[in-house]
Structure 1
Amino acid sequence: MSKKLTNNRKKIVKKINKKKYSLKEAFLLIKEIQFVKFDASVDIAINLGINTRIINQIIQGTVQLPHSLGKNISILALVNKNQELEAKKAGADYVGLDYIEKIKSGWKKKIDIIIAIPSVMNKLGTIGKILGPKGLMPNPKLDTVSINPIKSIKEIKNGKIFFKTDRYGIIHSSIGKVSFSDQKLIENTKLFLKKVIDNKPSSFKGNYIKSIYLSSTMNYSFCIDLKIFMKK
């Protein structure tokens, strides 16, 4: 890191304090302290007050972001032969049931999501131990087991994302790129938060959202003021 860059970084870091920020303030700072040479992702971490040991308090769902994520999502479509061409046209990066054997044999290509038709699910048992830990196992609750895989592929390519609490009750997700306008980032964030709130279990009592942090790749995070985030 050059001396000039280090000095600039020090000046900007001085602006950061431990207060809570509106969405607009957070995004302005995230952009101002960017020093990486690539278009970094903007990430959100939502700490929920749920108990992940209670099965009906595990939060998961989908949301169609209005402005997508600004990056290509790599999709493997496990569909029948007669659906392969349509799946490719819809945007699937890898298509066909022969990939089940390829994965079993150690296929290493990066995949973000696997879409499967229901009839294929009984064939995935042999690779469940490979897909499960990577979060790639198709799941009907997340619309990755689909009777209309072409529609599912198009939706994902156009900004549909999946979220789920981790073992600590935190939801991690990207909500755009630093190059996005503040307005696009705010609109993506608001809709994402709305979907998380809509998924609050009806039986849950207590403080549902404990904290929300926004950050960019390899950078500082900013705590969002829960009282105002839906207004900014």
Structure 2
Amino acid sequence: MRKHSRRYRQVLEQVKKQNYYPIMAIELLKKISTANFVETAEIHISLGIDPKYADQQLRATVILPKGTGKRNIVAVITRGQKLSEALSVGADIVGSDDLIDKISQGSINFDKLIATPDMMPLIAKLGRQLGPKGLMPSPKAGTVTNDLKKSITDFKAGKLEYRVDRTGIIHIPFGKTDFSVNDLMLNLITLKESIEKNRPSGAKGKYLQSVYISSTMSPSVAIDVNAFRAIS
């Protein structure tokens, strides 16, 4: 049986076995996030989809109005004049074949990788390194593009890519526990709207199955699904 610290057990006693209204859940999460660092607030949503079917997969992006509270390190793989363009609009790491070689050797010191379409044939061989970390560039995620300025600016501003895991659950950070309740609510509303907007065509029946929020070191807090669906 997994053993929890005394702090965790004390915090757990404050979480009732009930489904909370979203704003009450956020208030409780802020109260029980007592680690000695600023924790990340996360949402975990179980969806009524089976991602093994192509028409029931979910992968999308969203820009949270209040950001994530995290500074994203953005790397760009391109060539020619776009190398200097990427640097001029804020990319942290820029390269061509040299950067591809570094990544193939295990040097992955970035949070997001953007590539221009002409580089994708060369990047394909990096699937083993990038795939498990969710860093492989994708047109759908906005990370394969010739519009480097927009893509870099968006991800620097906190644009998030999310996808359903193999069990039909999505796990998304939506801020930090030192954000105000209102700011976390605004981010939560934006996420809810994005998830509903990008509902897979093959999803049938009840789409939102269960909703929980948690922080880095806290137990999870259950949110009433109907109340979550109604927030706006």
How high is the TM-score relative to the length of structure 2? 0.91
Aligned equivalent of 2:195: 196
CA shift for structure 1 position 76: 0.9
Cα distance in 2 between the residues matched to 1:118 and 1:146? 6
- Give the AA of the match of 2:102: K
- Give the AA of the match of 1:53: K
- Give the AA of the match of 2:132: P
Cα distance in 2 between the residues matched to 1:103 and 1:203? 36
Aligned equivalent of 2:82: 83
Deviations, residues 128-173 of structure 1 (Å, cap 9, x unaligned)? 2211122111000111101201210101111211110011111111
CA shift for structure 1 position 123: 0.7
CA shift for structure 1 position 84: 2.2
Describe how 1:67-78 pairs up with structure 2 within 5 A.
67-78=66-77
Cα distance in 1 between the residues matched to 2:200 and 2:59? 11
Cα distance in 1 between the residues matched to 2:182 and 2:80? 43
- Give the AA of the match of 2:99: Y
Cα distance in 2 between the residues matched to 1:138 and 1:45? 24
Deviations, residues 30-85 of structure 1 (Å, cap 9, x unaligned)? 11112211111000111001011211100111111101101111211112231223
Residue segments in structure 1 that go unaligned for 5+ positions in a row: none
Retained in 2: the 8 A contact 1:9–1:33?
no
Cα distance in 2 between the residues matched to 1:198 and 1:22? 22
Cα distance in 1 between the residues matched to 2:12 and 2:55? 41
Aligned equivalent of 1:114: 113
CA RMSD of aligned residues (A): 1.9
Aligned equivalent of 2:22: 23
Cα distance in 2 between the residues matched to 1:62 and 1:130? 22
CA shift for structure 1 position 7: 7.8
- Give the AA of the match of 2:32: I
CA shift for structure 1 position 9: 6.8
For the residue of structure 2 that corresponds to 1:154, the secondary structure is helix
For the residue of structure 1 that corresponds to 2:144, the secondary structure is coil
Structure 1 runs, 4 residues or longer, greater than 4 Å off: 5-9
Cα distance in 2 between the residues matched to 1:169 and 1:114? 25
Cα distance in 2 between the residues matched to 1:83 and 1:55? 34
Residue segments in structure 2 that go unaligned for 5+ positions in a row: none
For the residue of structure 1 that corresponds to 2:161, the secondary structure is strand
For the residue of structure 2 that corresponds to 1:228, the secondary structure is helix
For the residue of structure 2 that corresponds to 1:63, the secondary structure is strand
Retained in 2: the 8 A contact 1:45–1:212?
yes
For the residue of structure 2 that corresponds to 1:24, the secondary structure is helix
Aligned equivalent of 1:49: 48
For the pair 1:105 / 2:105, whether they are aligned, the reply is yes
Check 1:153–1:75 CA distance in 2 against 1; reply closer, same or farther (3 A cut).
same
Cα distance in 2 between the residues matched to 1:38 and 1:8? 15
Retained in 1: the 8 A contact 2:162–2:171?
yes
- Give the AA of the match of 1:106: G
Cα distance in 2 between the residues matched to 1:142 and 1:111? 16
